[in-house]
Chains A and B, each alone.
Chain A
């Protein structure tokens, strides 16, 4: 285990049983599962931003929650700075929570509407007993508010979330985790519900968190364009598996997996002189729980061949630090 690994995930799986209802009691069919996360492995190094990109249903949000043990994994191991957190009990886990935090998607729903800004931040301090005494708490809150760009702190001190703009609420969300000085932050679509003119500001804040506080970021999104802007490495997810992973510019300029190629081709470009490319794939994302003995992309893949049925392509390193799970790519 390298010393500068902030997060290591090994073969993480999260399966949700599909409720059979009353009929299930009498049928002899095996319980079916939704394989939300189906064997994901990766590492995040110190000071690195790793992006997870995929469409809805690919499992990226579930994966983020499982890593923080907001939902328990079905199997697999999660190591935070070398410590295996999958087997910790509640008390130990609470201590670990200081090091791994989350920023949520909905600026409106992620703040308790009945708490003021300073009360929200104070809760973080008190749960982990970061400092002693109210004066110390106040000064830490003030400093953190200024760190996230909510200055002067006095203006925001007693405000309820309803009086904050979307961007300001997300900044409070960032402050709430920043105050703990975590090593790793998982950001689940942090800007998708914000106005476009405000998004870059929040992204810059996330980048500043890395530069000034050494916080590594796992950035979960469906938006390829903003992921490119903020992430050093990108992992593309499809049906619970990572199908391609590598440095950002490599993935965007030389995508190898057919799904990645389709994704990049599908994203509209803010340049009206560029014509829309034809999409090489067809159809819609199949419902999970179907046949998993074959590559999940088989039905939509333009390069699908009969020989590919019955086996799942493993994730292999085809170039230094560039991984692909595809039979076509050798």
Chain B
């Protein structure tokens, strides 16, 4: 059984203009000791989807359908108290722009031990020791436990966030655009850290980003999201080698690389749609170069190809 099973999840935002279908029937799963990448552009619903896993969806948004089964329990049906206990211990999250999530008037050591004390029945002194260990783990060093967030650079603050998130050895770690906005070298150091932690703690990770190359460096499997739907899913290696869905293909073909041959890049015409009134049929059809009549009227279902690849496209028939 998978560690996390998301089934037919739908999250709508109810505005006066009508419901915005931010996440419209997506299903994916995460197994033990693997990293799943969730890639998509702004507004595709990836952040909303993982917010639902932590039940952070606030009105006017609502989970209207679906199941989120974590370690055998459906998260949607849990009580508020059960959910609170789950956050941080069962599932932890590193947020986008997390550097602003640190309390400026508390030492980093204290912020880590706070989380530990919340979920474990130990003394403050023991929690402080564990906090120091966490700082060692992320490469900051226990000597800096008494420093305040403003004494750290952007990349190091991000590491503190990782230290906080992994403090209670969660069963699942979600990272939402953790390296976006960081300098190249700092980004690389953080990605190396993520891979190390993965190896050391056997930590399953959901990694959200819009950056194809980052996914290539860190994720075993990847799900491509577009306009609230998952259009393709599969192992990173095979998907990058042979993308099937036109959007995945277009994304990969529009990614410049510093190594290898300088390839011809193609832009994707148009822009991601507004989800208050998504295109009928396949949501990608207005921008698709292989569009057929059926694409304009019928939504393609997510289908299983024999090698473990899932694709939602009429082309594959």
- Do A272 and B254 touch (CB < 8 A)? no
Report the minimum CB–CB distance from A206 to chain B (whole Å): 12
- Do B155 and A284 touch (CB < 8 A)? yes
Residue of B nearest to A168 (CB): B271
From known contacts A201-B267, A226-B256, infer whether A267 and B186 are also in contact, taking CB-CB under 8 Å.
Answer: no
From known contacts A195-B42, A276-B191, infer whether A271 and B185 are also in contact, taking CB-CB under 8 Å.
Answer: no
Residue of B nearest to A266 (CB): B188
Q: Which of B196-224 contact A (CB under 8 A)?
A: 210-217, 219
In the complex, 16 of the A-B residue pairs with CB atoms within 8 angstroms, ordered by the A residue number, are A55-B185, A168-B271, A196-B255, A200-B254, A200-B267, A203-B267, A225-B256, A225-B257, A229-B262, A269-B217, A269-B257, A270-B240, A270-B252, A270-B257, A272-B216, A279-B189
Q: Which residues of B contact A302 (CB under 8 A)?
A: none
Q: In the complex, A270→B14 CA distance in Å? A: 37
- Do A269 and B272 touch (CB < 8 A)? no
Report the minimum CB–CB distance from A230 to chain B (whole Å): 9
- Do A197 and B183 touch (CB < 8 A)? no
For chain A, give the interface size range.
35 or more
Which of B195, B251, B260 neighbours the largest number of chain A CB atoms within 10 Å of its CB?
B260
- Do B258 and A197 touch (CB < 8 A)? no
Interface set of B (CB-CB < 8 Å, partner A): 41-42, 153, 155-156, 183-189, 191-192, 195, 210-217, 219, 236-237, 240-241, 250-252, 254-260, 262, 265-269, 271-272
From known contacts A195-B42, A276-B217, infer whether A271 and B187 are also in contact, taking CB-CB under 8 Å.
Answer: no
Q: In the complex, A149→B56 CA distance in Å? A: 40
Which 10 residue pairs are nearest across A and B when measured between Cβ atoms? Answer: A201-B267, A200-B267, A268-B213, A266-B188, A55-B183, A225-B256, A270-B213, A197-B268, A272-B216, A195-B41
Residue A252 at the B interface, CB < 8 A?
Answer: yes
- Do A269 and B216 touch (CB < 8 A)? yes
Which of A166, A197, A226, A285 neighbours the largest number of chain B CB atoms within 10 Å of its CB?
A197
From known contacts A197-B272, A200-B254, A262-B185, infer whether A274 and B259 are also in contact, taking CB-CB under 8 Å.
Answer: yes
Q: How does the 8 Å CB contact mask read for A213-232 relative to B, with 1 for contact and 0 for none?
A: 00000000010111011000
Residue A56 at the B interface, CB < 8 A?
Answer: yes
| A contact patch SS | helix
| A201 in complex: contacting residue of B211, B214, B256, B269, CB < 8 Å | B269
Q: In the complex, A271→B255 CA distance in Å? A: 10
- Do A264 and B258 touch (CB < 8 A)? yes
Q: In the complex, A266→B301 CA distance in Å? A: 39
- Do A284 and B240 touch (CB < 8 A)? no
Q: In the complex, A261→B111 CA distance in Å? A: 37
Report the minimum CB–CB distance from A104 to chain B (whole Å): 17
Known pairs A198-B268, A266-B185; list 5 more (Cβ under 8 Å): A203-B265, A268-B211, A268-B216, A270-B255, A276-B195
- Do B213 and A269 touch (CB < 8 A)? yes
Residue A40 at the B interface, CB < 8 A?
Answer: no
Q: How does the 8 Å CB contact mask read for A281-302 relative to B, with 1 for contact and 0 for none?
A: 1001100000000000000000
Q: In the complex, A106→B145 CA distance in Å? A: 36
- Do B217 and A268 touch (CB < 8 A)? yes
Q: Which of A226-284 contact B (CB under 8 A)?
A: 226, 228-229, 249, 252, 262-274, 276, 279, 281, 284
Residue of B nearest to A282 (CB): B189
- Do B184 and A224 touch (CB < 8 A)? yes
Q: Which residues of A contact B241 (CB under 8 A)?
A: 273
Q: In the complex, A200→B42 CA distance in Å? A: 16
Q: In the complex, A63→B11 CA distance in Å? A: 46
Q: In the complex, A92→B229 CA distance in Å? A: 56
- Do B213 and A197 touch (CB < 8 A)? no
- Do A271 and B42 touch (CB < 8 A)? no
Q: Which residues of B contact A197 (CB under 8 A)?
A: 41, 250-251, 254, 267-268, 271-272
- Do A222 and B269 touch (CB < 8 A)? no
Q: Which residues of A contact B187 (CB under 8 A)?
A: 266, 268
Report the minimum CB–CB distance from B107 to chain A (whole Å): 20
Report the minimum CB–CB distance from B144 to chain A (whole Å): 13
Report the minimum CB–CB distance from B229 to chain A (whole Å): 15
